[in-house]
Structure 1
Amino acid sequence: MALLLIVNHKPMAQSSFAARTFYFLGLGLARLIYRVVVSGRENLPAGGFLLLPNHITWVDAILLQLACPRQIRFIIDEGYYRQGFLHPFLRLTGAIPITPRRAKDAMRAAADAIRAGDIVCLFPEGQLSRSGTLLRLRRGYELISRQAEAPVVPVWLDQLWGSIFSFQGGRFFTKWPQSLPYRVAVAFGRPLRPDEGDIATVREELLKLGEICYSQRSILREHLAFACLRGLKRRAFSTAIIDGMDHSSLSRGKLLGVAVALARHLRQRCPEHRIGIVLPPGKGGVVANLAVVLAGKIPVNLNFTSSREAIVSAQTQAGLKTIISARAMAKRLEEFPWTPEVLHLEEVLPAMKPAIIAWWMLSLAMPAAMVARLLHIPRVGDREEAILLFTSGSAGAPKGVPLSHRNILGNVSQFAALLDSTRNDLIVASLPFFHSFGCTVTLWYPIIDGVRIVTYPSPLEAAKIAALVERY
C-alpha cells in the first residue's frame, strides 16, 4: 500500500540563500491554500531524473514542488519565462526555457541538469487539459531521458479539476474556490529506464496512478443519502425537476422536504431492508427513490415491462414486502404481481403536507450535517449496498445486481467531471430508473450535482422528447 503523508518540504541544501528564502516564503504561503497528500515518495530516485506529470492547472508546478522533497527545475515555454514579473522568480528556481526553434538546446540543457543530479520536470502533454482528462503525450521527453541516461518518473496530480486554476466550467480563475484549504493528491510512480519509458508505457503508468488516486477520494466513502442531502442543500431554490407531461416543476429544497417527510414515514411503517418502486421517470419516481435512500433503506426499481414470472423472481430475490407506486400505474399494469403492501404516493403525500413544509423550512435553515443527524443518516456508506438493480431476465431468471455507495458516487463523480454541466444545462430523464444509465445519470447525478432534469415517462416517444429538448 502506498504511503500517505502530508509533505514537509525541504529545499536543496546547495541552493542559494535567495532561492531558499523564496522557497520558504512561497511554499509556506502555498501550504495555507493547499493540503497536498502524497503517495509513492519512496519511488523517487536519489540522483537526477525526469519528472512527467499530467497538466490540469496553472499551479501544477507549485503543487509538485510542495510534494517533492527536493528542488525541481521546470521546463517552461520561453514566452512565459521572459514575462517581466515572472522572469526573476523563474530564473531563481532554475527553470529551463524552451522554444520550438531552439527545442534541442533546451533538451540538451535539461539532460545536463539531470546528469548533474537535478530533478527536471516536463509536462509531456505540452498544454493544459481543457477537459480534466489526460491528453496525447508528446515525444520530446524521450530524447531528454536518453541523452541524460536517466529514468523518467510519472506523477499524477489529482482532485485539481474544478479548482479556480483549472478550465472546469469553461474558464480559468473566474470562479469561487470549492474549499479552503484545497485538498490535492499527488502520486509518484515507479521510475522507468530510458529504454522502457516510451509513450505507451508512460501513459499507462499515468492512468494507473490516476486510478489509485481516484480510488482514495473521500467522496467515494460517503453514504449516498448524505451526498444527496448535501447536494440538494446547495441552491435549494433552484429547479430540480420539470415534469415533461404537465410542465410543472419542483425546486431542490421542496424535493428534499417531500422526500424527508416520506422517508420518516417509511422508516416507521416498513421494517424491511429493501423497498420496491414501480414508477416511471417523473417527480414521483425521484421522490420515492430519494425517500427510500434517506430512510436508510435500499430502493429496488422493478422492471414493470418484464414478464410476470421475471417480476415475481425479482421480488422474491429482493425479499420485497412493500412497493411504492401510484394508482395510475396500478390501473395500467393490471397483471402486475403487487406485494401485499402498496403505498400510492397520491394517497400518502397529501396527509404529510404539514411535515413536508416543516422539513422544507428546517432543511433551508439548518446545515446538511445537522439535518443528517436528525434523520440518522450515516456519513459513510462505502462498499455497502446502496441500490439493487435486476437484469432483464432475457437469459433466464433476472439476476440481482447490488450497487454500493462507492459504485454510485464514483459514477456520479465521473459524469460530473466529464459533462462539466452548468446551471443552464438540463438533462432529459426518459430512461426508466430500473435501467442502470437511467438510475445513475438521470436520477442520482442530477440530485447530487445540481443539474436540472425534465422527465418523460417513456424513452420510445422520440417526437415528444425532441419537443421537450426544443422547449427547454
Structure 2
Amino acid sequence: MVLILALLAATAFVWCLTAIVEKVRLGLSPAQAVLYAPFKLIYRISDSRIDIARGAQAPVVYVVTHQSRIDPALMLSLLPDETLHILDQASAKSVWMEPWRELARTIAFNAEHVFVSRRLVRVLKGKGRLAVYIPAAVEPDLRSFRLYRAVIRIAMQADARIVPIFIGGAQALPFHASGRTPALRRWFPRLDISVLEPMTAPELVARNGSPATRNAYALFDRMAEARLASTNPNLTLFQAVRDAAEHFGPGRIALEDATGNRLSYRRLLAGASILGKHFTKFTTPGEAVGVMLPNANATVLALLGLASAGRVSALVNYTAGPANVEAAVRTAVIRIVLSSRAFVEKAKLDDVVQAVEAGGAKLVWLEDLQPGVTGFGKFCAALLWRYPIYRQKAENPAVILFTSGSEGAPKAVVLSHRNLIANAMQGEARVTVSCRDVALNVLPMFHSFGLTAGTLLPLINGVKLFLYPSPLHYKLIPEVARRLKPSVMFGADTFLAQYARAAADGDFSSLRFLVAGAEAVKTQTRRVWRERFDTEILEGYGLTEAAPVAAVNTATHNREGTVGRLLPGMRMRIEPVEGVAEGGRLFLAGPNVMMGYMTADRPGELQPLADGWQDTGDIVKVDNEGFVTITGRAARFAKIAGEMISLGGVEMLVQSLWPEERHAIVSVPDRKRGERIVLVTTATQADAQSLRKLGKQAGIAELAVPGDIIKVAEIPVLGSGKTDYGATRALAIERLNAGSAA
C-alpha cells in the first residue's frame, strides 16, 4: 500500500512539475497546462513550433490534419483558448474528451451547414480564431476535398491567415480518426507537431503559381508541406533506413531479389556495416566510389555500406556503352568501381570493364571481399547495426548519377543525402503508401527513378521491396508479378507496353497503382492496362537533377495527358520561349534539387546552381489547378524557314495516327532550310500521304510535317526506357545518306 501511494505521489509530482514547466514555456493557461502534461510525458512530444500557431495574428484559421482521436484534445490544450474548434461528431460526443472541451469553445462538425455558415466568417472578421480538422488522407476523395474549398473560401472572405498543423507520428496510434486500423499500430510513438508559417489565402494561391483566384489546391499543397515538414531533414541514407527499422521493426523483411534471398532491416544494416568496414580499407571519406551492379540485394548493401562509411556512391550506367562509361569515370574522378564477376560474365560486360579501366579506375569484386568477413566482424555488425561507421551531415554528397544523354553527352549529377530523402518523403506526402504494400522495382538504380522512387521510398516507408535485375525481361516480369502479387510498381511506357503484351490476364491484377515516368505514357498503353488489369497508370515527371520526381498524378487527382502536379515543397518558374504561344521553359527549385554538376571539362569539381533554380529544358504549360503538361523539349525544337517547330509536338501527333507503334521525330541538316524533320518509326504502314492529311486536319504548318520516313525494327532506347535521340538522329542521317528513306 505504501509503495502504491509513493508511486501515485511521484506521478502527481511529475505531472504537476511538467504542467508548470509547459505553462511557463508555452504560455498556456493553468487548465491547458494540466491537461497537456500527460500527453507531453506519454508521447515525448516535440512542440517547439507551436509558438508559431499561438503567436499568429488574428484572424487566423488553424487547419489540422486529423489523424487520431487525440488530435482535438492536443489542439485544445495548445492553441489559444479563444479559438473556436470545429469538432467531428465522435470528438464532440466522446465522454473522455469532456475535460478538454471545457478549455475552449467547440461546435460539432457538420459539413452540410458549418462550412457555408456566415457565422464563421463573422467570427474570423472579429479577430477570431478557428480550428478546422481535415481528414488525413494523402489522396483525399472528392467529398473530402470539398473541405479544402470551403476552408480557403472562408479564409478569403474573412481575410484570415491560414496556419497548417500536422502531428507527425499520430498516424500510427491505434485510435485512428477514421475508425480504421492503421497499417502499423504503436501505442506510444514519439509525436512531432509540425506548424508552418501563417499565410493568407491569396499568398497561398500566388505561391502555387496558379492564375485561379480561389484555389483549394493551394491549401492542399500547403497541408502536404506540413506533412513533409514533420520528417527529419537531417538524416543520411543510412540513418533514414535505420529509423525505418526502428519504426517498423528490425525483424521486418525489407528486401528480396530474384535469387530469393530475403533481408530484414537488421540484416540489411548489419550487412551494410560489414561492407562499409571493407570500403574504409581502400577508399577515403568523401571519395566517389563507382557501383556497377544490377538490381539486387547486394547493390542496396553496397549503397548503404558506402553511406555508412561516408563515401559517395557513383552509380555507373553499364548500358550506356563503353564510351559513355569511360567518360563517366573520368568526369566523376572515380578511382574504384565495385562490381561482381558473376554479373559481368552473365551480362557480357567485358567491353564496359575495359572502359572502366581505360577511364583510370580499378575494379574491386564483391566476391573477393567475402573471405575477409570474420565471425567477430559479423558479431560486431549484428550488435552495432544501428550506428554508421562514419558520421556525416545530410547536406553532404550521397550519390552521383549520370544524366541519360538522350540528347547529348551525359553529365554527372551530385545529389546530397537531403536531396534523396526529401524526394522520397515528398512522394510519400503525395501518394499513399504503407507497410501493407509490396513494391516491385524493375528499373535499374543507376536511373534516378529506379533509385529514389523504386528503392529508397519503399525502404524508408516500410514497404516490402522486390528487386528485379533487368526491365528488359518482358516475358519473365509478368510471371514474377503473378507470384509476388505487388501492390505498387514503377516503370516506363516502353517497358509497360511490352509487359502488357507478354502478360496473361490477371498477372498484374494485384496492383493498387502503377507510377510511370522517364517518357510520356501513350494512350494505347494506358488503355491496355486499364482494360486488362484494372490498373490506372499514374504518370509523373522528373529529371535526374531533381532526385528525380518533380510532379505526379495520384489516384484521386489524375488528369490524363498531364504529368500531375508539383510535389510539396517544390516551386516552379516558367519563362517565355520564342515561338511558343502557351506556356514556356520550366525552372524548378526545392529541397530535392541537386547540389550541382560535374562536367568533362572540369572533372571532380562540383559546380553548384548559381541561384538554386534548375533549368529543366522542358517546355510546359500549367492549368489553373496546377496540372503540368509537357509540350516539348527546348533542345528538341527545330528552326525551319524562320519558324520554331516542336519535335515533341510532332511526335505526339504521329503517335495518335499509329498508336500501337513507336516513333521518334528528329531534325537533320538541310542545305536549303537549315534543318528538316524526319520520322523514324516501327510502323511499316507509315506513309507520307497519311502524314500530310493528318497535318491538315490538325492545322499544323506544312513545315512541321515530316518529309522523310525511315522504317526500323526498333527505335534505339536508353537503359531507362527513354528514346535515345542521339542514336536515332545518327541512324536517320546514315539512312538518308544511303538513300533508304521513304
TM (norm. structure 2) is 0.52
* Larger mean Cα displacement after TM superposition, 457-466 or 224-233: 224-233
**Whole-Å Cα distance in 1 between the matches of residues 176 and 194 of structure 2?**
15
Partner residue, 1:14: none
Deviation string 1:326-368 (CA, Å, 9 cap, x unpaired) is 113333112111334211112221332435522343236xxx2
Q: Does 1:405 align with 2:417?
A: yes
Aligned to 2:26, the other structure's residue is in SS state coil
Partner residue, 1:335: 351
Gaps of 5+ in 2: 1-23, 207-211, 485-742
- Give the C-alpha shift of residue 51 in structure 1: 1.4
Q: Is the Cα contact below 8 Å between 1:77 and 1:97 reproduced in 2? A: yes
- Give the C-alpha shift of residue 384 in structure 1: 1.8
Of structures 1 and 2, the one scoring higher in RCO (CA 8 A, sep 6+) is: 1
Q: Is the Cα contact below 8 Å between 1:427 and 1:453 reproduced in 2? A: yes
Aligned to 2:370, the other structure's residue is in SS state helix
How has the CA–CA distance of structure 1 residues 167 and 454 changed in structure 2, closer, same or farther, with 3 Å as cutoff? farther
Partner residue, 1:279: 293
Q: Does 1:152 align with 2:160?
A: yes
- Among candidates 11, 29, 35, match of residue 26 of structure 1: 35
Partner residue, 1:311: 325
- Give the C-alpha shift of residue 394 in structure 1: 2.3
How has the CA–CA distance of structure 1 residues 431 and 338 changed in structure 2, closer, same or farther, with 3 Å as cutoff? same
Q: Does 1:261 align with 2:274?
A: yes
Pairwise mapping of residues 219-230 of structure 1 onto structure 2 (< 5 A)?
219-230=232-243
* Larger mean Cα displacement after TM superposition, 305-314 or 32-41: 32-41
Partner residue, 1:130: 137
**Whole-Å Cα distance in 2 between the matches of residues 207 and 449 of structure 1?**
21
Aligned to 1:268, the other structure's residue is in SS state helix
* Larger mean Cα displacement after TM superposition, 302-311 or 32-41: 32-41
Aligned to 1:200, the other structure's residue is in SS state coil
Pairwise mapping of residues 31-42 of structure 1 onto structure 2 (< 5 A)?
31-32=40-41, 33=43, 34-36=45-47, 37-38=49-50, 40-41=52-53
Partner residue, 1:176: 186
Aligned partner letter, 1:240: A
Deviation string 1:180-231 (CA, Å, 9 cap, x unpaired) is 4x221222423459xx99983565256347537735x562212222323444
Partner residue, 2:303: 289
Q: Is the Cα contact below 8 Å between 1:9 and 1:67 reproduced in 2? A: no
- Give the C-alpha shift of residue 112 in structure 1: 5.3
- Among candidates 43, 58, 61, match of residue 51 of structure 1: 61
Q: Does 1:248 align with 2:241?
A: no
**Whole-Å Cα distance in 1 between the matches of residues 109 and 344 of structure 2?**
71
- Give the C-alpha shift of residue 242 in structure 1: 2.4
Aligned partner letter, 1:255: L
Q: Is the Cα contact below 8 Å between 2:291 and 2:339 reproduced in 1? A: yes
Pairwise mapping of residues 459-470 of structure 1 onto structure 2 (< 5 A)?
459-470=471-482
How has the CA–CA distance of structure 1 residues 278 and 169 changed in structure 2, closer, same or farther, with 3 Å as cutoff? farther
Q: Is the Cα contact below 8 Å between 1:392 and 1:398 reproduced in 2? A: yes
Partner residue, 2:129: 119
Gaps of 5+ in 1: 1-5, 12-19
Partner residue, 1:189: 198
**Whole-Å Cα distance in 2 between the matches of residues 307 and 169 of structure 1?**
54
Q: Does 1:443 align with 2:464?
A: no
Partner residue, 2:372: 351
TM (norm. structure 1) is 0.78
How has the CA–CA distance of structure 1 residues 170 and 338 changed in structure 2, closer, same or farther, with 3 Å as cutoff? farther
**Whole-Å Cα distance in 2 between the matches of residues 283 and 329 of structure 1?**
13
**Whole-Å Cα distance in 2 between the matches of residues 100 and 398 of structure 1?**
54
How has the CA–CA distance of structure 1 residues 425 and 178 changed in structure 2, closer, same or farther, with 3 Å as cutoff? farther
* Larger mean Cα displacement after TM superposition, 271-280 or 309-318: 271-280
Q: Is the Cα contact below 8 Å between 2:401 and 2:448 reproduced in 1? A: yes
- Give the C-alpha shift of residue 129 in structure 1: 2.5
Deviation string 1:50-71 (CA, Å, 9 cap, x unpaired) is 5151433234434444553342
Pairwise mapping of residues 351-390 of structure 1 onto structure 2 (< 5 A)?
351-354=372-375, 356-363=377-384, 368=386, 371-372=387-388, 375=389, 377-378=390-391, 381-390=393-402
Q: Is the Cα contact below 8 Å between 1:53 and 1:156 reproduced in 2? A: yes
How has the CA–CA distance of structure 1 residues 80 and 209 changed in structure 2, closer, same or farther, with 3 Å as cutoff? closer
- Give the C-alpha shift of residue 300 in structure 1: 0.9
Q: Is the Cα contact below 8 Å between 1:225 and 1:293 reproduced in 2? A: yes
Q: Does 1:61 align with 2:72?
A: yes
- Give the C-alpha shift of residue 89 in structure 1: 5.8
Aligned to 2:196, the other structure's residue is in SS state strand
**Whole-Å Cα distance in 2 between the matches of residues 266 and 79 of structure 1?**
56
- Give the C-alpha shift of residue 99 in structure 1: 4.4
* Larger mean Cα displacement after TM superposition, 150-159 or 354-363: 354-363
What RMSD over aligned residues (CA atoms) do the two structures have, in Å? Answer: 3.8
How has the CA–CA distance of structure 1 residues 448 and 116 changed in structure 2, closer, same or farther, with 3 Å as cutoff? closer
How has the CA–CA distance of structure 1 residues 258 and 137 changed in structure 2, closer, same or farther, with 3 Å as cutoff? same
- Give the C-alpha shift of residue 309 in structure 1: 1.5
Q: Is the Cα contact below 8 Å between 1:51 and 1:122 reproduced in 2? A: yes
Aligned to 1:219, the other structure's residue is in SS state coil
Aligned partner letter, 2:472: L
Q: Is the Cα contact below 8 Å between 2:433 and 2:463 reproduced in 1? A: no
* Larger mean Cα displacement after TM superposition, 392-401 or 168-177: 168-177
Aligned to 2:228, the other structure's residue is in SS state helix
Deviation string 1:304-333 (CA, Å, 9 cap, x unpaired) is 111222111111111011111111333311
**Whole-Å Cα distance in 2 between the matches of residues 318 and 119 of structure 1?**
55
**Whole-Å Cα distance in 1 between the matches of residues 424 and 178 of structure 2?**
16
* Larger mean Cα displacement after TM superposition, 35-44 or 447-456: 35-44
Deviation string 1:397-454 (CA, Å, 9 cap, x unpaired) is 21111111111111232344534322x5322232111011211133333444443322
- Give the C-alpha shift of residue 142 in structure 1: 7.1
- Give the C-alpha shift of residue 166 in structure 1: 4.8
* Larger mean Cα displacement after TM superposition, 25-34 or 338-347: 25-34
**Whole-Å Cα distance in 1 between the matches of residues 269 and 98 of structure 2?**
53
- Give the C-alpha shift of residue 276 in structure 1: 0.6
Aligned to 1:55, the other structure's residue is in SS state strand
- Give the C-alpha shift of residue 390 in structure 1: 0.3
How has the CA–CA distance of structure 1 residues 350 and 256 changed in structure 2, closer, same or farther, with 3 Å as cutoff? farther
How has the CA–CA distance of structure 1 residues 170 and 387 changed in structure 2, closer, same or farther, with 3 Å as cutoff? farther
Q: Does 1:71 align with 2:82?
A: yes
Partner residue, 1:96: 107
Partner residue, 2:26: 8
Deviation string 1:35-80 (CA, Å, 9 cap, x unpaired) is 322364587335xx35151433234434444553342112345675
How has the CA–CA distance of structure 1 residues 67 and 455 changed in structure 2, closer, same or farther, with 3 Å as cutoff? same
